[in-house]
Structures are given as C-alpha cells and as structure tokens.
C-alpha cells in the first residue's frame, strides 16, 4: 500500500510542477486579456514591423483577434 501511495505522490507532484509551469505561460494571458493587450502595446511601442520582419513573411497579427 505504501508503494502505491508513493507512486501517486510522485505522479501528482509531476502534474503539479507541469501545471505550475504552464500557468504563467499559457493560462494567465488567456484569463487576463485586457491586461496582456495593454502590456504588449507598451512593449511594442516604437517598433515598425516592416523594418524588423524578414522579407516574404506575413506581418505579425494579434493572436487574440479571433473570429
């Protein structure tokens, strides 16, 4: 019984670490769209996309501008 409990704790710990890693990367921006958009507007101020975009590639668009 103790061996099974240890296995469950190890597996549960792994899931907790993966979840804690993905939260700030993926889930937080999805749950706080306006805050994320404002932060990106500040970060991208003064950047002319045509100057930094490699030739022949599509210009960046808002990933949250879904239809």
List the pLDDT tens digit at each of the 67 positions of the chain: 688 999 999 999 999 999 999 999 998 888 999 998 899 889 888 888 777 777 777 777 777 776 5
What is this structure's pTM? 0.49
- Tell me the pLDDT of the chain averaged across its residues: 85
The three-state DSSP-derived secondary structure of the chain is: CHHHHHHHHHHHHHHHHHHHHHHHHHHHHHHCHHHHHHHHHHHCCCCCHHHHCCCCCCCCCCCCCCC
């Amino acid at each position: 019984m103790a061996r099974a409990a240890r296995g469950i704790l190890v597996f549960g710990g792994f899931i907790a670490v993966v979840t804690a890693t993905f939260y700030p990367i993926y889930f937080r921006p999805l749950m706080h769209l306006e805050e994320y958009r404002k932060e990106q507007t500040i970060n991208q101020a003064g950047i002319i996309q045509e100057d930094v975009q490699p030739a022949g590639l599509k210009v960046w668009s808002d990933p949250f501008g879904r239809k």
